[in-house]
A = this chain, B = another copy of it.
Protein backbone atom coordinates (compact mmCIF):
# COMPACT_ATOMS: atom_id res chain seq x y z
CA UNK A 1 0.00 0.00 0.00
CA UNK A 2 2.89 2.44 0.64
CA UNK A 3 4.60 1.79 -2.69
CA UNK A 4 7.72 -0.19 -3.56
CA UNK A 5 10.04 2.18 -1.73
CA UNK A 6 8.75 0.99 1.65
CA UNK A 7 9.38 -2.36 3.28
CA UNK A 8 8.45 -3.94 6.57
CA UNK A 9 11.51 -4.40 8.78
CA UNK A 10 11.75 -6.03 12.19
CA UNK A 11 14.17 -5.22 14.98
CA UNK A 12 15.00 -7.66 17.76
CA UNK A 13 15.12 -6.66 21.39
CA UNK A 14 18.11 -7.13 23.71
CA UNK A 15 16.27 -8.10 26.86
CA UNK A 16 13.33 -10.03 25.48
CA UNK A 17 12.52 -12.16 22.40
CA UNK A 18 10.60 -9.33 20.81
CA UNK A 19 10.63 -8.12 17.22
CA UNK A 20 9.52 -4.55 16.60
CA UNK A 21 7.96 -3.89 13.21
CA UNK A 22 8.58 -0.66 11.34
CA UNK A 23 8.10 0.68 7.84
CA UNK A 24 11.49 1.46 6.35
CA UNK A 25 11.52 3.88 3.46
CA UNK A 26 14.32 3.43 0.93
CA UNK A 27 15.04 6.92 -0.37
CA UNK A 28 15.77 7.56 -4.03
CA UNK A 29 18.94 9.47 -3.13
CA UNK A 30 20.79 10.39 0.03
CA UNK A 31 19.87 13.40 2.13
CA UNK A 32 22.20 14.94 4.69
CA UNK A 33 20.41 16.33 7.72
CA UNK A 34 22.46 17.97 10.45
CA UNK A 35 25.56 16.11 9.33
CA UNK A 36 23.97 12.65 9.13
CA UNK A 37 23.44 11.03 5.75
CA UNK A 38 20.18 9.15 5.23
CA UNK A 39 19.68 6.62 2.44
CA UNK A 40 16.69 5.14 4.18
CA UNK A 41 14.59 5.94 7.22
CA UNK A 42 12.47 3.74 9.48
CA UNK A 43 9.04 5.14 10.29
CA UNK A 44 6.65 4.36 13.13
CA UNK A 45 4.14 1.87 11.82
CA UNK A 46 0.73 0.94 13.19
CA UNK A 47 -0.35 -1.32 10.36
CA UNK A 48 0.85 -4.58 11.89
CA UNK A 49 1.21 -7.58 9.60
CA UNK A 50 -1.25 -6.16 7.08
CA UNK A 51 1.40 -4.13 5.29
CA UNK A 52 3.83 -7.06 5.14
CA UNK A 53 3.63 -8.73 1.72
CA UNK A 54 5.23 -11.85 3.23
CA UNK A 55 2.22 -12.37 5.50
CA UNK A 56 -1.20 -13.54 4.39
CA UNK A 57 -3.84 -12.85 6.99
CA UNK A 58 -6.85 -15.09 7.27
CA UNK A 59 -9.36 -13.07 9.29
CA UNK A 60 -11.05 -16.26 10.44
CA UNK A 61 -7.83 -17.41 12.10
CA UNK A 62 -6.66 -13.98 13.19
CA UNK A 63 -3.14 -12.57 13.13
CA UNK A 64 -0.02 -14.05 14.74
CA UNK A 65 -0.29 -14.06 18.60
CA UNK A 66 3.24 -12.75 19.00
CA UNK A 67 3.11 -11.97 22.69
CA UNK A 68 2.43 -15.60 23.57
CA UNK A 69 6.01 -16.34 22.51
CA UNK A 70 7.48 -13.78 24.87
CA UNK A 71 6.85 -16.10 27.81
CA UNK A 72 6.37 -13.43 30.39
CA UNK A 73 4.25 -13.69 33.54
CA UNK A 74 5.15 -17.38 33.88
CA UNK A 75 3.89 -18.79 37.12
CA UNK A 76 1.93 -15.68 37.92
CA UNK A 77 -1.13 -16.46 35.85
CA UNK A 78 -3.70 -19.18 35.66
CA UNK A 79 -6.13 -20.27 32.98
CA UNK A 80 -9.83 -19.56 33.21
CA UNK A 81 -11.16 -22.89 32.00
CA UNK A 82 -14.76 -22.08 32.87
CA UNK A 83 -14.75 -19.38 30.20
CA UNK A 84 -12.39 -20.84 27.65
CA UNK A 85 -15.06 -21.17 25.03
CA UNK A 86 -15.10 -17.40 24.77
CA UNK A 87 -12.15 -17.46 22.41
CA UNK A 88 -12.67 -18.21 18.77
CA UNK A 89 -9.17 -19.53 18.26
CA UNK A 90 -9.40 -22.01 21.14
CA UNK A 91 -6.87 -20.17 23.30
CA UNK A 92 -7.79 -20.46 26.97
CA UNK A 93 -7.93 -17.05 28.61
CA UNK A 94 -5.54 -16.16 31.41
CA UNK A 95 -5.78 -14.10 34.57
CA UNK A 96 -3.40 -13.28 37.42
CA UNK A 97 -3.34 -15.75 40.23
CA UNK A 98 -4.76 -14.39 43.45
CA UNK A 99 -2.13 -12.27 45.15
CA UNK A 100 -0.07 -11.75 42.01
CA UNK A 101 0.13 -8.33 40.37
CA UNK A 102 0.89 -8.54 36.66
CA UNK A 103 0.11 -5.05 35.40
CA UNK A 104 2.74 -2.98 33.65
CA UNK A 105 2.35 -0.52 36.51
CA UNK A 106 3.09 -3.18 39.11
CA UNK A 107 6.17 -4.38 37.23
CA UNK A 108 7.39 -0.82 36.73
CA UNK A 109 7.01 -0.06 40.41
CA UNK A 110 9.08 -3.17 41.12
CA UNK A 111 11.68 -1.86 38.65
CA UNK A 112 11.09 -4.74 36.22
CA UNK A 113 11.39 -4.05 32.48
CA UNK A 114 8.72 -6.05 30.69
CA UNK A 115 8.87 -7.10 27.02
CA UNK A 116 6.22 -4.47 26.36
CA UNK A 117 8.42 -1.73 27.84
CA UNK A 118 11.41 -2.72 25.75
CA UNK A 119 9.15 -2.94 22.71
CA UNK A 120 7.85 0.59 23.03
CA UNK A 121 11.33 2.01 23.72
CA UNK A 122 12.61 0.59 20.43
CA UNK A 123 9.45 1.58 18.63
CA UNK A 124 9.47 5.19 19.77
CA UNK A 125 13.14 5.65 18.80
CA UNK A 126 12.62 4.29 15.27
CA UNK A 127 16.29 3.13 15.30
CA UNK A 128 17.25 6.80 15.08
CA UNK A 129 19.34 6.93 18.25
CA UNK A 130 22.21 8.81 16.57
CA UNK A 131 19.88 11.44 15.16
CA UNK A 132 18.05 11.87 18.48
CA UNK A 133 21.27 12.23 20.46
CA UNK A 134 22.57 14.85 18.03
CA UNK A 135 19.34 16.83 17.86
CA UNK A 136 18.82 20.07 19.70
CA UNK A 137 16.28 22.83 19.41
CA UNK A 138 15.97 26.08 21.27
CA UNK A 139 18.84 24.98 23.50
CA UNK A 140 17.05 21.76 24.43
CA UNK A 141 18.86 18.45 23.85
CA UNK A 142 17.40 14.97 23.70
CA UNK A 143 18.25 11.39 24.55
CA UNK A 144 16.84 8.26 22.94
CA UNK A 145 14.20 6.51 25.03
CA UNK A 146 15.61 3.64 27.09
CA UNK A 147 13.56 0.76 28.43
CA UNK A 148 14.39 2.17 31.87
CA UNK A 149 12.85 5.53 30.94
CA UNK A 150 9.73 3.79 29.71
CA UNK A 151 9.55 1.86 32.96
CA UNK A 152 9.94 5.00 35.05
CA UNK A 153 7.25 6.86 33.14
CA UNK A 154 4.86 3.94 33.64
CA UNK A 155 5.81 3.70 37.33
CA UNK A 156 5.04 7.39 37.79
CA UNK A 157 1.62 6.92 36.16
CA UNK A 158 2.57 9.45 33.47
CA UNK A 159 2.29 6.80 30.76
CA UNK A 160 0.36 3.59 30.19
CA UNK A 161 0.89 0.52 28.01
CA UNK A 162 -2.60 -0.91 27.45
CA UNK A 163 -1.97 -4.61 26.93
CA UNK A 164 -4.43 -7.19 28.21
CA UNK A 165 -2.63 -10.49 28.71
CA UNK A 166 -5.43 -12.04 26.65
CA UNK A 167 -4.62 -9.95 23.59
CA UNK A 168 -1.49 -11.79 22.37
CA UNK A 169 -1.85 -10.33 18.87
CA UNK A 170 -0.94 -6.88 20.20
CA UNK A 171 2.10 -4.87 19.15
CA UNK A 172 2.60 -2.84 22.34
CA UNK A 173 2.43 0.95 22.31
CA UNK A 174 2.62 3.62 24.96
CA UNK A 175 0.37 6.56 25.80
CA UNK A 176 2.02 9.38 27.70
CA UNK A 177 3.07 12.94 27.12
CA UNK A 178 6.79 12.21 26.99
CA UNK A 179 6.21 9.95 23.98
CA UNK A 180 4.79 10.48 20.53
CA UNK A 181 1.20 11.71 20.52
CA UNK A 182 -1.19 8.86 19.71
CA UNK A 183 -4.59 8.72 18.07
CA UNK A 184 -7.60 6.48 18.51
CA UNK A 185 -10.21 5.57 15.92
CA UNK A 186 -13.71 4.57 16.99
CA UNK A 187 -15.38 1.78 15.12
CA UNK A 188 -18.51 -0.16 15.81
CA UNK A 189 -21.82 -0.87 14.23
CA UNK A 190 -24.63 1.20 15.59
CA UNK A 191 -28.02 -0.49 15.56
CA UNK A 192 -28.73 0.90 12.13
CA UNK A 193 -25.83 -0.11 9.98
CA UNK A 194 -22.91 -2.22 8.94
CA UNK A 195 -22.03 -5.89 9.31
CA UNK A 196 -19.46 -7.62 11.49
CA UNK A 197 -17.19 -8.25 8.52
CA UNK A 198 -17.30 -4.55 7.77
CA UNK A 199 -16.35 -3.72 11.33
CA UNK A 200 -13.27 -5.97 11.31
CA UNK A 201 -12.28 -4.48 8.00
CA UNK A 202 -12.80 -1.01 9.47
CA UNK A 203 -10.53 -1.79 12.42
CA UNK A 204 -7.77 -3.00 10.14
CA UNK A 205 -8.39 -0.10 7.80
CA UNK A 206 -7.99 2.44 10.63
CA UNK A 207 -4.61 0.94 11.67
CA UNK A 208 -3.39 1.05 8.10
CA UNK A 209 -3.82 4.80 7.98
CA UNK A 210 -2.23 5.29 11.35
CA UNK A 211 -4.65 4.65 14.22
CA UNK A 212 -2.66 3.73 17.34
CA UNK A 213 -5.65 2.19 19.10
CA UNK A 214 -9.21 1.40 18.12
CA UNK A 215 -12.31 1.54 20.25
CA UNK A 216 -15.03 -0.92 19.44
CA UNK A 217 -18.22 0.96 20.23
CA UNK A 218 -20.58 -1.65 18.84
CA UNK A 219 -24.08 -1.45 20.18
CA UNK A 220 -26.04 -3.76 17.90
CA UNK A 221 -26.64 -7.47 17.75
CA UNK A 222 -23.67 -9.85 17.76
CA UNK A 223 -21.70 -7.50 20.01
CA UNK A 224 -19.62 -10.32 21.55
CA UNK A 225 -18.68 -11.89 18.26
CA UNK A 226 -17.85 -8.54 16.61
CA UNK A 227 -15.42 -7.81 19.41
CA UNK A 228 -13.86 -11.25 19.21
CA UNK A 229 -13.15 -10.85 15.51
CA UNK A 230 -11.71 -7.40 15.97
CA UNK A 231 -9.43 -8.50 18.79
CA UNK A 232 -8.09 -11.56 16.99
CA UNK A 233 -7.22 -9.36 14.03
CA UNK A 234 -5.99 -6.24 15.79
CA UNK A 235 -2.30 -5.39 16.17
CA UNK A 236 -3.27 -2.28 18.14
CA UNK A 237 -4.88 -2.02 21.57
CA UNK A 238 -8.66 -2.32 21.56
CA UNK A 239 -10.77 -0.28 23.92
CA UNK A 240 -14.48 -0.61 24.69
CA UNK A 241 -17.21 1.02 26.74
CA UNK A 242 -18.55 -2.04 28.60
CA UNK A 243 -21.65 -0.12 29.57
CA UNK A 244 -22.96 -0.43 26.01
CA UNK A 245 -23.07 -4.20 26.21
CA UNK A 246 -24.37 -4.12 29.77
CA UNK A 247 -27.24 -1.94 28.62
CA UNK A 248 -28.10 -4.42 25.90
CA UNK A 249 -28.20 -7.13 28.53
CA UNK A 250 -30.61 -4.88 30.43
CA UNK A 251 -32.70 -4.73 27.26
CA UNK A 252 -31.89 -1.10 26.68
CA UNK A 253 -33.48 0.07 29.94
CA UNK A 254 -30.91 2.05 31.92
CA UNK A 255 -32.95 1.70 35.11
CA UNK A 256 -32.56 -2.09 34.98
CA UNK A 257 -28.75 -2.03 35.05
CA UNK A 258 -27.14 -3.65 38.06
CA UNK A 259 -23.63 -3.87 39.36
CA UNK A 260 -23.66 -7.65 38.92
CA UNK A 261 -24.68 -7.39 35.29
CA UNK A 262 -21.97 -4.81 34.67
CA UNK A 263 -19.34 -6.84 36.53
CA UNK A 264 -20.08 -9.94 34.47
CA UNK A 265 -19.74 -7.87 31.31
CA UNK A 266 -16.33 -6.62 32.42
CA UNK A 267 -15.15 -10.21 32.95
CA UNK A 268 -16.59 -11.35 29.63
CA UNK A 269 -14.69 -8.66 27.76
CA UNK A 270 -11.57 -9.08 29.88
CA UNK A 271 -11.32 -12.72 28.86
CA UNK A 272 -11.62 -11.75 25.22
CA UNK A 273 -8.62 -9.47 25.51
CA UNK A 274 -9.92 -5.89 25.54
CA UNK A 275 -6.98 -3.64 26.43
CA UNK A 276 -8.73 -0.68 27.98
CA UNK A 277 -12.21 0.07 29.28
CA UNK A 278 -13.92 3.43 29.35
CA UNK A 279 -15.77 3.59 32.64
CA UNK A 280 -17.93 6.54 33.63
CA UNK A 281 -17.33 6.31 37.36
CA UNK A 282 -16.89 10.04 37.93
CA UNK A 283 -20.41 11.30 37.33
CA UNK A 284 -22.10 11.65 40.71
CA UNK A 285 -25.50 12.62 42.03
CA UNK A 286 -24.15 16.04 43.00
CA UNK A 287 -23.27 16.85 39.36
CA UNK A 288 -26.70 16.32 37.86
CA UNK A 289 -28.27 19.70 38.62
CA UNK A 290 -25.38 21.50 36.90
CA UNK A 291 -25.62 19.17 33.91
CA UNK A 292 -29.34 19.82 33.71
CA UNK A 293 -28.81 23.56 33.34
CA UNK A 294 -26.65 23.14 30.25
CA UNK A 295 -27.47 24.05 26.68
CA UNK A 296 -27.04 20.48 25.46
CA UNK A 297 -27.15 18.41 28.67
CA UNK A 298 -25.13 15.21 28.74
CA UNK A 299 -23.68 14.18 25.38
CA UNK A 300 -21.61 11.20 26.49
CA UNK A 301 -23.53 8.04 25.71
CA UNK A 302 -22.25 6.22 28.79
CA UNK A 303 -22.77 9.34 30.85
CA UNK A 304 -26.39 9.75 29.82
CA UNK A 305 -27.06 6.11 30.72
CA UNK A 306 -25.55 6.49 34.19
CA UNK A 307 -27.34 9.78 34.80
CA UNK A 308 -30.63 8.08 34.01
CA UNK A 309 -29.78 5.22 36.39
CA UNK A 310 -28.74 7.57 39.20
CA UNK A 311 -31.91 9.58 38.86
CA UNK A 312 -34.17 6.54 38.68
CA UNK A 313 -32.68 4.94 41.79
CA UNK A 314 -31.87 8.17 43.61
CA UNK A 315 -28.61 6.62 44.69
CA UNK A 316 -24.91 7.04 43.89
CA UNK A 317 -23.36 5.84 40.59
CA UNK A 318 -22.63 2.12 41.07
CA UNK A 319 -19.44 2.46 39.04
CA UNK A 320 -18.22 4.84 41.72
CA UNK A 321 -19.35 2.81 44.71
CA UNK A 322 -17.90 -0.40 43.24
CA UNK A 323 -14.77 1.25 41.88
CA UNK A 324 -12.30 -0.79 43.91
CA UNK A 325 -13.88 -4.04 42.73
CA UNK A 326 -13.68 -2.79 39.15
CA UNK A 327 -9.98 -2.13 39.63
CA UNK A 328 -9.43 -5.60 41.04
CA UNK A 329 -11.04 -7.18 37.98
CA UNK A 330 -9.04 -5.00 35.56
CA UNK A 331 -5.77 -5.63 37.37
CA UNK A 332 -6.05 -9.38 36.95
CA UNK A 333 -5.76 -9.01 33.15
CA UNK A 334 -3.80 -5.77 33.02
CA UNK A 335 -6.62 -3.85 31.44
CA UNK A 336 -6.09 -0.11 31.63
CA UNK A 337 -8.93 2.06 32.83
CA UNK A 338 -9.90 5.06 30.78
CA UNK A 339 -11.90 7.24 33.14
CA UNK A 340 -14.80 8.47 31.04
CA UNK A 341 -15.83 12.11 31.02
CA UNK A 342 -19.56 11.65 31.23
CA UNK A 343 -19.94 15.40 31.59
CA UNK A 344 -17.82 16.55 28.68
CA UNK A 345 -19.35 19.65 27.09
CA UNK A 346 -21.43 19.00 23.98
CA UNK A 347 -21.32 22.58 22.77
CA UNK A 348 -19.19 25.71 23.02
CA UNK A 349 -21.60 27.30 25.49
CA UNK A 350 -21.16 24.43 27.98
CA UNK A 351 -17.35 24.29 27.90
CA UNK A 352 -15.32 24.40 31.12
CA UNK A 353 -18.40 24.57 33.32
CA UNK A 354 -18.93 23.40 36.88
CA UNK A 355 -20.33 20.05 35.76
CA UNK A 356 -17.27 19.30 33.65
CA UNK A 357 -14.62 20.32 36.14
CA UNK A 358 -16.57 18.86 39.06
CA UNK A 359 -16.37 15.47 37.41
CA UNK A 360 -12.70 15.96 36.52
CA UNK A 361 -11.91 16.38 40.20
CA UNK A 362 -13.59 13.05 40.94
CA UNK A 363 -11.60 11.43 38.12
CA UNK A 364 -8.44 12.61 39.86
CA UNK A 365 -9.53 10.94 43.10
CA UNK A 366 -10.36 7.73 41.26
CA UNK A 367 -6.93 7.82 39.62
CA UNK A 368 -5.30 7.51 43.02
CA UNK A 369 -7.60 4.65 43.96
CA UNK A 370 -6.77 2.78 40.75
CA UNK A 371 -3.06 3.34 41.26
CA UNK A 372 -3.33 1.91 44.77
CA UNK A 373 -4.40 -1.31 43.05
CA UNK A 374 -1.67 -1.13 40.40
CA UNK A 375 -4.17 -0.43 37.62
CA UNK A 376 -3.00 1.78 34.73
CA UNK A 377 -5.14 4.88 34.22
CA UNK A 378 -5.82 7.51 31.60
CA UNK A 379 -8.36 10.33 31.76
CA UNK A 380 -10.83 11.17 29.04
CA UNK A 381 -11.41 14.77 28.10
CA UNK A 382 -13.65 16.96 25.95
CA UNK A 383 -15.45 17.59 23.70
CA UNK A 384 -16.63 21.01 22.48
CA UNK A 385 -14.30 23.74 23.76
CA UNK A 386 -13.52 27.13 22.22
CA UNK A 387 -9.86 27.47 21.27
CA UNK A 388 -9.12 30.00 24.03
CA UNK A 389 -10.44 27.67 26.76
CA UNK A 390 -8.49 24.57 25.68
CA UNK A 391 -5.39 25.40 27.72
CA UNK A 392 -7.40 25.47 30.95
CA UNK A 393 -8.54 21.92 30.27
CA UNK A 394 -5.00 20.65 30.01
CA UNK A 395 -3.81 22.61 33.03
CA UNK A 396 -6.64 21.43 35.27
CA UNK A 397 -6.24 17.85 34.10
CA UNK A 398 -2.56 17.84 35.06
CA UNK A 399 -3.34 19.46 38.41
CA UNK A 400 -6.36 17.37 39.38
CA UNK A 401 -5.39 14.01 37.87
CA UNK A 402 -1.81 13.71 39.06
CA UNK A 403 -0.29 13.65 35.56
CA UNK A 404 -2.16 10.53 34.39
CA UNK A 405 -2.27 10.65 30.57
CA UNK A 406 -5.03 12.76 29.05
CA UNK A 407 -7.08 11.33 26.17
CA UNK A 408 -9.40 13.82 24.50
CA UNK A 409 -12.14 13.78 21.90
CA UNK A 410 -11.01 16.72 19.80
CA UNK A 411 -11.62 19.21 21.33
CA UNK A 412 -13.96 20.61 18.72
CA UNK A 413 -13.43 24.36 18.56
CA UNK A 414 -16.83 25.27 17.09
CA UNK A 415 -20.31 23.75 16.91
CA UNK A 416 -21.05 24.74 13.31
CA UNK A 417 -18.56 22.64 11.33
CA UNK A 418 -20.96 19.78 10.50
CA UNK A 419 -19.41 17.79 7.65
CA UNK A 420 -15.95 19.10 8.54
CA UNK A 421 -15.71 18.13 12.20
CA UNK A 422 -12.56 16.10 11.53
CA UNK A 423 -10.85 19.39 10.68
CA UNK A 424 -12.50 21.12 13.62
CA UNK A 425 -11.25 18.37 15.92
CA UNK A 426 -7.73 18.38 14.45
CA UNK A 427 -7.52 22.10 15.25
CA UNK A 428 -8.34 21.68 18.93
CA UNK A 429 -6.46 18.39 19.07
CA UNK A 430 -3.20 19.94 17.91
CA UNK A 431 -3.41 22.59 20.58
CA UNK A 432 -4.18 20.27 23.48
CA UNK A 433 -1.60 17.70 22.33
CA UNK A 434 1.07 20.38 22.02
CA UNK A 435 0.21 21.30 25.62
CA UNK A 436 0.57 17.71 26.84
CA UNK A 437 -2.44 15.63 25.89
CA UNK A 438 -1.22 12.10 25.15
CA UNK A 439 -3.86 10.69 22.82
CA UNK A 440 -6.49 12.18 20.54
CA UNK A 441 -9.70 10.37 19.76
CA UNK A 442 -10.48 10.94 16.13
CA UNK A 443 -13.63 12.55 14.85
CA UNK A 444 -14.79 11.89 11.30
CA UNK A 445 -16.52 14.16 8.78
CA UNK A 446 -19.78 12.37 9.71
CA UNK A 447 -19.68 13.41 13.38
CA UNK A 448 -23.12 14.70 14.45
CA UNK A 449 -24.56 13.48 11.13
CA UNK A 450 -24.28 9.73 10.71
CA UNK A 451 -22.24 6.54 10.83
CA UNK A 452 -18.80 6.91 9.20
CA UNK A 453 -17.97 4.79 6.18
CA UNK A 454 -14.52 3.61 5.07
CA UNK A 455 -13.55 6.89 3.53
CA UNK A 456 -14.73 8.85 6.57
CA UNK A 457 -12.56 6.64 8.77
CA UNK A 458 -9.51 7.30 6.63
CA UNK A 459 -10.19 11.06 6.55
CA UNK A 460 -10.68 11.09 10.30
CA UNK A 461 -7.53 9.10 11.02
CA UNK A 462 -5.30 11.14 8.73
CA UNK A 463 -6.63 14.51 9.97
CA UNK A 464 -5.70 13.47 13.50
CA UNK A 465 -2.32 12.11 12.40
CA UNK A 466 -1.64 15.59 11.06
CA UNK A 467 -2.66 17.02 14.44
CA UNK A 468 -0.59 14.50 16.41
CA UNK A 469 2.46 15.04 14.23
CA UNK A 470 2.14 18.84 14.37
CA UNK A 471 2.02 18.54 18.15
CA UNK A 472 5.09 16.27 18.15
CA UNK A 473 6.97 18.92 16.18
CA UNK A 474 5.81 21.59 18.60
CA UNK A 475 7.12 19.50 21.49
CA UNK A 476 10.46 19.12 19.73
CA UNK A 477 10.22 15.36 19.19
CA UNK A 478 13.42 14.62 17.22
CA UNK A 479 12.05 11.77 15.08
CA UNK A 480 9.18 14.01 13.98
CA UNK A 481 11.60 16.78 12.98
CA UNK A 482 13.64 14.33 10.92
CA UNK A 483 10.66 13.24 8.86
CA UNK A 484 9.82 16.85 8.03
CA UNK A 485 13.40 17.70 7.15
CA UNK A 486 13.70 14.69 4.84
CA UNK A 487 10.38 15.61 3.26
CA UNK A 488 11.47 19.17 2.62
CA UNK A 489 14.81 18.12 1.17
CA UNK A 490 12.97 15.71 -1.11
CA UNK A 491 10.59 18.53 -2.06
CA UNK A 492 13.46 20.87 -2.88
CA UNK A 493 15.05 18.09 -4.96
CA UNK A 494 11.75 17.36 -6.80
CA UNK A 495 12.12 13.74 -5.62
CA UNK A 496 8.44 12.94 -5.92
CA UNK A 497 8.61 9.29 -4.85
CA UNK A 498 10.42 10.23 -1.65
CA UNK A 499 7.82 12.92 -0.97
CA UNK A 500 5.04 10.38 -1.33
CA UNK A 501 6.77 7.84 0.93
CA UNK A 502 7.40 10.44 3.62
CA UNK A 503 3.86 11.82 3.58
CA UNK A 504 1.37 10.91 6.27
CA UNK A 505 -0.86 9.40 3.58
CA UNK A 506 1.45 8.29 0.76
CA UNK A 507 -1.41 6.95 -1.31
CA UNK A 508 -3.36 10.21 -1.36
CA UNK A 509 -0.26 12.31 -2.08
CA UNK A 510 0.68 10.17 -5.08
CA UNK A 511 -2.89 10.06 -6.33
CA UNK A 512 -3.43 13.84 -6.24
CA UNK A 513 -0.11 14.55 -7.90
CA UNK A 514 -0.62 12.02 -10.66
CA UNK A 515 -4.18 13.14 -11.33
CA UNK A 516 -3.07 16.78 -11.65
CA UNK A 517 -0.25 15.91 -13.99
CA UNK A 518 -2.49 13.74 -16.13
CA UNK A 519 -5.24 16.37 -16.23
CA UNK A 520 -2.75 18.91 -17.57
CA UNK A 521 -1.42 16.49 -20.17
CA UNK A 522 2.02 16.20 -18.55
CA UNK A 523 3.20 12.62 -18.50
CA UNK A 524 6.82 13.15 -17.42
CA UNK A 525 7.85 10.75 -14.68
CA UNK A 526 9.76 13.05 -12.34
CA UNK A 527 9.27 16.62 -13.47
CA UNK A 528 11.03 19.40 -11.59
CA UNK A 529 7.77 21.27 -10.99
CA UNK A 530 4.13 20.58 -10.27
CA UNK A 531 0.98 21.88 -11.92
CA UNK A 532 0.24 24.25 -9.03
CA UNK A 533 2.66 26.86 -10.37
CA UNK A 534 3.70 25.24 -13.65
CA UNK A 535 7.26 24.87 -14.95
CA UNK A 536 7.97 28.61 -15.39
CA UNK A 537 6.83 29.86 -12.00
CA UNK A 538 8.29 27.28 -9.64
CA UNK A 539 9.99 29.26 -6.87
CA UNK A 540 12.02 26.27 -5.69
CA UNK A 541 13.42 25.75 -9.15
CA UNK A 542 14.17 29.45 -9.53
CA UNK A 543 15.65 29.63 -6.06
CA UNK A 544 18.17 26.97 -7.11
CA UNK A 545 19.10 28.91 -10.24
CA UNK A 546 17.49 26.32 -12.56
What 1/0 flags go to A246-265 for Cβ under 8 Å of B? 00000010100000000000
Q: How far is the CA of A220 from the CA of B192 in the complex (A)?
A: 52
Residue A473 interfacial (CB < 8 Å): yes
Q: Closest CB of chain B to A215's CB: distance in Å?
A: 14
Q: Is A141 an interface residue (CB 8 A)?
A: no
With A297-B544, A427-B426 in contact, is A450–B513 under 8 Å at CB?
yes
Is A49 part of the binding interface, using a Cβ–Cβ cutoff of 8 Å? no
Query: How many copies make up the complex?
Result: 2
Judged by a CB distance under 8 angstroms, whether A404 is at the interface is: no
**Contact yes or no, A539 B303, CB < 8 A:** yes
Using Cβ atoms and an 8 Å threshold, which residues of chain B touch A516? 193, 446, 449-451
Q: Residues of B contacting A418 with CB < 8 Å? A: 499-500, 503-505, 508-509, 512
Cβ distance A322 to chain B, nearest Cβ, rounded Å: 22
Instruction: Tell me whether A98 is interfacial, beta carbon within 8 Å.
Output: no
Contact A534 B503 (CB under 8 A): no
A9 vs chain B, min Cβ distance (A): 20
* A349, A449, A453: most-surrounded residue (chain B CB, <10 A): A449
- Note all chain B residues with C-beta closer than 8 A to A545: 308
Asked if A298 lies at the interface with its beta carbon under 8 angstroms from chain B, I say yes
Check B491 against A445 for contact (C-beta < 8 Å): no
Chain B nearest CB, measured from A19 CB (Å): 27
Q: Which of the segments A126-134, A144-152, A199-207, A478-486 contacts the partner chain?
A: A478-486
Q: Are B296 and A450 within 8 A (Cβ)?
A: no
Chain B residues contacting A542 (CB-CB under 8 Å) are 254, 298, 301, 304-305, 307-308
Q: Is A492 an interface residue (CB 8 A)?
A: yes
Residues of chain B within 8 A (CB-CB) of A303 are 539
CB <8 Å contact, A192 and B387: no
The verdict on A211 contacting chain B, using a C-beta distance below 8 Å, is: no
Chain B residue with Cβ nearest A193: B520
A517 contacts the other chain (CB 8 A): yes
Cβ–Cβ < 8 Å partners of A519 in chain B: 193, 450-451, 453
Whether the pair B190, A296 counts as a contact (CB closer than 8 A) is no
Q: Is A67 an interface residue (CB 8 A)?
A: no
Assembly CA distance A430 to B463 (angstroms): 15
Q: Is the CB of A427 within 8 A of B467?
A: yes
Which residue on B lies nearest to A516, using beta carbons? B450
Asked if A447 CB lies within 8 Å of chain B CBs, one says yes
Contact B299 A219 (CB under 8 A): no
Asked if B424 and A531 sit within 8 Å, CB to CB, the answer is no
Distance of A157 Cα from B217 Cα, bound (Å): 54
CA distance A295 to B72 in the complex (A): 47
The listed residue with most B CB atoms (<10 A of its CB), out of A296, A304, A453, A543, is A543
Given contacts A252-B536, A297-B539, A388-B475, 13 further A-B contacts (CB under 8 A): A192-B521, A295-B485, A301-B537, A347-B484, A348-B484, A414-B466, A416-B483, A418-B508, A419-B503, A420-B508, A427-B467, A448-B491, A451-B532
- 8 nearest interchain CB pairs? A450-B516, A347-B488, A297-B543, A419-B508, A191-B534, A387-B474, A413-B470, A190-B534
Could you show 13 A-B contacts with beta carbons less than 8 Å apart?
Answer: A190-B537, A297-B539, A347-B484, A413-B430, A416-B504, A418-B499, A418-B500, A420-B505, A426-B426, A445-B512, A450-B520, A450-B531, A451-B531
